[in-house]
Amino acid sequence: MKARVTSTLVSSWLPSTERKLDLAVLEMATDIHRRSAILAPVDTRALVNSGRIIRRDKGKYSVAYGGGRVKYAKRRHYENKKNPQTLKYLERAGTSVSRSLNRYIGKI
């Protein structure tokens, strides 16, 4: 399961503006990761500990959970009878953080 933030950088922008935009998107991805770790179901903490931020390209980051011992991450996102309040933990984190978009873009 991934939340993805994508931006397109214009070649005419100054390199410093590109760097500021990349840092703003990285900060947003970091906040999505933090928030999703709070909202994710916790049993052994393996799911929470499997969360990571992946840089895809300049200005493109993904937040992902799972892999290795935690192959059930996607299933827990959509299905959890034991802790239904944790459903869609990554999606809810992305929605929550995106409400503060001006906080990230205002720094540019």
Q: Which residues contact 32 (CB under 8 A, 6 or more apart)?
A: 3, 5, 63, 90, 93, 94, 97
Which pLDDT tens digit goes with each residue over 41-64?
A: 998 899 999 999 999 988 899 999
Domain count, the chain: 1
Residue 1 lies in a domain: no
Please tell me the pTM assigned to this model.
0.81
Residue 8 lies in a domain: no
Residue 5 lies in a domain: no
Residue 44 lies in a domain: yes
Distance, in Å, from the CA atom of 9 to the CA atom of 67, rounded to the nearest integer, reads 31
Distance, in Å, from the CA atom of 50 to the CA atom of 43, rounded to the nearest integer, reads 13
Residue 54 lies in a domain: yes
Residue 29 lies in a domain: yes
CB 52 within 8 A of CB 26: no
**Which range is least confidently modeled, 3-12, 52-61, 76-85, 98-107?**
3-12
Residue 85 lies in a domain: yes
Higher pLDDT residue, 68 or 35? 35
- Position 2 pLDDT exceeds 80: no
Residue 1's pLDDT band, with cuts at 50, 70 and 90, is low
